[in-house]
């Protein structure tokens, strides 16, 4: 039961990234924000790993490549595609595409790890994705597809595939490393990849002008959305597998809108309540033992 609570809270923390991202929009460049977020996270993750395990676990030769791939997919590539994609498409369209994560994770896990798909799980996937679409589109999911699929949509779809890779690699990594150590290494690798693009944006020059709100948002992104969120997500993958853990990503748009209501005063609509019901129902069905053969 505790792991499910952690996964729901992870979705809440990740939903908060939209609020934090709005707070720094226009004052902190995208790669600079991403680098600082993961630099802070990497330092904390290493310290937490040292405290929990006494040392950074020595890597086996067969763990090096998966860790590099995890860092470059879940940290570097995801952020690069995400920030570039958002310059070309609206947040609503991007959020709907990213809400496809659980579907692709489940399908990929079925192909790679032979995870079984039954009609209950399949129905749950459809319901949870439909719920996310209802929330993001404010009750009219069809309207999100009216503009066709352009280059921006392709970039955001790339985010989905990069997160699928990160999730599937996580299942492999946590067999030989703790979730904490796995995230520590992958975060550090991704941070190293983000450094040069951040410097090219002028991060070092601009840092002196960041406001208190900017730094508070960056620390939120680093501590809660990354350290806590990534570790708990990998714990979820270790405990219940990438397919089931991935379903909780659909809570992200719901939590984002709820936080927007609490912090920014935006209204809670009927479509939000309906979408929440669909997502909760879908996640419950996906994680139930019914329909197994």
Answer whether residue 22 is part of any domain.
yes
Residue 199, both tokens: 């410097």
How confident is the model at residue 283, as a pLDDT? 74
293 in a structural domain: no
Q: Whole domain around residue 200: which residue ranges?
A: 2-286
d(CA 190, CA 159): 14
Give residues with Cβ within 8 angstroms of 10, minimum separation 6.
Answer: 228, 229, 232, 233, 236, 248
Q: Which residue has the higher pLDDT, 10 or 126?
A: 10
Residue 291 resides in a domain:
no
Please check whether residue 292 lies inside any domain of the structure. Answer: no
Number of domains in the chain: 1
**The CA-based dihedral angle spanning residues 99, 81, 137, 233, taken in that order and rounded to the nearest 10 degrees:** 30
Give the pLDDT mean for 159-179: 85
Q: Are 59 and 240 in contact (CB under 8 A)?
A: no
Cα–Cα nearest to 259, from 137, 144, 135: 135
pTM: 0.78
Q: Report if residue 229 sits inside a domain.
A: yes
Q: Is residue 44 part of a domain?
A: yes
Which has more confidence, 92 or 66? Answer: 66
Q: What pLDDT does residue 40 have?
A: 96
Q: Are the CB atoms for 111 and 268 separated by under 8 Å?
A: no
What angle, 0 to 180 degrees and rounded to 10, lies between the N-to-C axes of helices 151-173 and 78-85? 160
- For residue 247, being part of any structural domain is answered with yes
pLDDT tens per residue across span 202-227: 999 999 999 999 999 999 999 999 89
- Does a structural domain hold residue 276? yes
């Amino acid at each position: 039961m505790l792991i499910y609570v952690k996964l729901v809270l992870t979705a809440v923390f990740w939903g908060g990234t939209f609020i934090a991202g709005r707070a720094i929009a226009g004052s902190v460049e995208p790669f600079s924000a991403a680098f600082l977020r993961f630099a802070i996270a990497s330092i904390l993750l290493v310290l937490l790993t040292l405290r929990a395990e006494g040392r950074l676990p020595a890597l086996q030769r067969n763990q090096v490549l998966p860790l590099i791939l995890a860092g470059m997919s879940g940290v570097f590539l995801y952020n690069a595609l995400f920030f570039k994609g958002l310059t070309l498409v609206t947040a609503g369209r991007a959020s709907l595409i990213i809400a496809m994560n659980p579907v692709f994770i489940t399908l990929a896990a079925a192909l790679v790890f032979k995870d079984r798909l039954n009609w209950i799980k399949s129905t749950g996937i459809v319901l949870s994705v439909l719920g996310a679409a209802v929330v993001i589109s404010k009750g009219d999911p069809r309207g999100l597809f009216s503009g066709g699929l352009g280059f921006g949509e392709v970039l955001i779809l790339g985010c989905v595939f990069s997160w699928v890779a990160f999730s599937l690699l996580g299942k492999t990594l946590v067999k030989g490393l703790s979730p904490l150590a796995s995230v520590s290494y992958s975060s550090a690798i991704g941070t190293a990849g983000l450094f040069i693009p951040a410097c090219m944006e002028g991060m070092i020059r601009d840092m002196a002008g960041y406001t208190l709100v900017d730094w508070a948002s960056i620390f939120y992104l680093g501590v809660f959305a990354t350290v806590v969120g990534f570790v708990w997500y990998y714990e979820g993958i270790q405990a219940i597998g990438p397919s089931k853990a991935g379903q909780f990503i659909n809570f992200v748009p719901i939590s984002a809108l709820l936080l927007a209501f609490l912090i920014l005063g935006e209204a809670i609509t009927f479509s939000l309540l309906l979408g929440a019901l669909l997502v909760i129902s879908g996640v419950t069905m996906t994680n139930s033992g019914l329909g197994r053969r």
